[in-house]
Structure 1
Amino acid sequence: MICLLQKIASIIIGSMLIAIGINYFIIPNHLVDGGIIGLGLISKYTLGLQPGLTIIVLNLPLYIYAWFHFRSYFYNGIHGVLASSFFIDYFHPLMALHTPPILISAITGGFVLGSGIGIMLLTKVSAGGGDLLALMLTKVIQLNVGIIILIIDGFVILLGWLTIQETTVLYSGVMVGMVGLTTFTITKSFST
Structure 2
Amino acid sequence: MVKKLILIVIASILISIGINVFILPLHLLNGGVFGISLLLKYLLGFHLGLTIFCINFPIYLLAYKFDQTYFINGVMGLMISSIIIDLLFPLNGIIHLPIFISASIGGLFIGCGVGIMLRNHTSPGGVDLLSLLMAKWYSINPGMFILAVDACIIIFGLLIIKDLHLLYSLLTITIVGIVVSIFTSFKTVEFYV
TM bracket, shorter-chain basis: 0.7 to 0.9
Q: 1:126 aligns with which of 123, 133, 157?
A: 123
Mapped contact 2:18–2:106 kept (Cα < 8 A): yes
1:32 matched to 2:66? The reply is no
Q: 2:8 aligns with which of 7, 11, 20?
A: 11
Report the equivalent of 1:191. Answer: 189
1:137 shift after superposition: 5.7
Moved more, 8-17 or 121-130: 121-130
Report the equivalent of 1:82. Answer: 79
The number of residue pairs the alignment matches comes to 187
- 1:119 alignment partner AA: I
Question: Could you tell me how far apart the structure 1 residues matched to 2:51 and 2:91 are?
Answer: 19
Question: Could you tell me how far apart the structure 2 residues matched to 1:43 and 1:99 are?
Answer: 29
Alignment TM-score, normalising by the size of structure 1: 0.78
Distance 1:13 1:187, change over 3 A: same
- Cα RMSD over matched residues? 3.1
- 1:110 alignment partner AA: G
Report the equivalent of 2:112. Answer: 115
Sequence identity, in percent? 39
Deviations, residues 67-118 of structure 1 (Å, cap 9, x unaligned)? 2343232123111112112222222222243421110011100111111112
Question: Could you tell me how far apart the structure 1 residues matched to 2:36 and 2:29 are?
Answer: 8
- 1:181 alignment partner AA: I
- 2:170 alignment partner AA: G
Mapped contact 1:56–1:81 kept (Cα < 8 A): no
Distance 1:134 1:37, change over 3 A: same
Structural mapping, 1:40-119, within 5 Å: 40=37, 42=39, 55-119=52-116
Question: Could you tell me how far apart the structure 2 residues matched to 1:49 and 1:27 are?
Answer: 18
- 1:107 alignment partner AA: S
Question: Could you tell me how far apart the structure 2 residues matched to 1:119 and 1:148 are?
Answer: 16
1:143 shift after superposition: 8.5
Alignment TM-score, normalising by the size of structure 2: 0.77
User: Could you list the runs of 5+ residues in structure 1 that have no partner in the other structure?
Assistant: none
Question: Could you tell me how far apart the structure 1 residues matched to 2:16 and 2:170 are?
Answer: 19
- 2:8 alignment partner AA: I
Deviations, residues 25-80 of structure 1 (Å, cap 9, x unaligned)? 111112223211323555787869667x7644531232133223432321231111
